[in-house]
Amino acid sequence: MDMYDLRGKTAVVTGAARGLGLAFAEALASAGCNIAVVDILPKPLDALYELQSKYDIIVKYYQGDITSQTQVQEIVSQVVRDFERIDININAAGVVTDQAFLTTSPENIQRTFAVNVNGSFFVAQACANAMVNRYKSEHGNVPTKNATTGTIVFIASIATHIVSSAQQISCYTASKAAVKGMVKPVAMELSRYGIRVNSLSPGYTMTDMMRDLQNRQPDLVKQFEGETLFGRIGLPQELQGAILWLCSDRASGWYTGQDLLLDGGASSWKHPVISN
């Protein structure tokens, strides 16, 4: 039995035009999963389409803004028409702005929560409805204890576990705490349909988001490196095993309502004094 065989399944992955979302899409693609990407960028990196021939799967790209519930519902309906099913939803689209708490702007609060919280909520809700419709067509409205209908993974952050003096991101951190806050109640409500719900909290990982931050604050990555137990920050591929595990019912079928933290030990120790 291959615990990680996802052939015939479809995953909706937000934010997978690049960065962690793309790494997550590749992890699922490597197990044979078809991939539907929702991202605001006009086009994804070529690496997304290369997954099709590399793993003999189908990849479709849906450009859209997850802060619009109307757009999200239209896209998810289109995904169901295109793929006939949704089994997995990973919510990796996110934004971060470094802004001191004392001067955080209303625009930053609005945008950060609109994308990270509302957007993840809208996409997960629409995907969950598609999963529940499939459940009802297969099982009627009767709770079935052994159903494995689907999996939803929210992307939270190390920021909700430990604060780094390298950044001033109270607004982002609050938004990710809200994302993490959805996990337990949504897991409870969806369990009767055989849907598991978890979040993954990445530590500092080198992506375009991190490169943008590094351009503005050159010492940032140096400090993050000093904060992990290995003296370096993570690579997107170092999160791939975890996402594949979370999304494979045969591997993690008993895991729901939890946050999985992958941070190279950054939250496990008292960091050495960093002089600013």
Ligand X SMILES: NC(=O)c1ccc[n+]([C@@H]2O[C@H](COP(=O)([O-])OP(=O)(O)OC[C@H]3O[C@@H](n4cnc5c(N)ncnc54)[C@H](O)[C@@H]3O)[C@@H](O)[C@H]2O)c1
Chain residues binding ligand X by CB under 6 A are 14-15, 17-21, 39-41, 65-67, 92-96, 115, 119, 155, 157-158, 202, 204-205, 207-210
Q: Which is nearer to ligand X, 150 or 234 (CB)?
A: 234
CB 13 within 8 A of CB 92: yes
C-alpha–C-alpha distance, residues 222 and 233, integer Å: 9
> Cβ atoms within 10 A of the Cβ of 176, count?
27
How far separated are the first and last CA of the chain, in Å rounded? 53
Q: In a 10 Å sphere around its CB, with 0-12 CB exposed, 13-18 middle and 19+ buried, how is residue 165 labelled? A: exposed
Nearer to ligand X by C-beta: 132 or 169? Answer: 169
Q: How far is the CB of 245 from ligand X (least distance, A)?
A: 17
Based on CB atoms, which residue is closest to ligand X, 28 or 92? 92
DSSP-assigned letter for residue 228? S
Dist. CA 180–CA 190, nearest whole Å: 16
Query: 114 vs 147, which CB is nearer to ligand X?
Result: 114
In whole angstroms, the minimum distance from the beta carbon of 157 to ligand X comes to 4
Give min distance, CB of 272 to ligand X, in A.
21
Nearer to ligand X, 45 or 147 (CB): 45
Both structure tokens of 55:
């793993």
Choice between 71 and 144, CB closer to ligand X: 71
Closest CB 102 distance from ligand X, rounded Å: 23
Least Å from the CB of residue 26 to ligand X: 13
Q: Helix 19-30 vs helix 240-247: angle between axes, to the nearest 10 degrees? A: 60
- For 49, the 3-state DSSP assignment is helix
Pairing of strands 59-63, 34-39: parallel
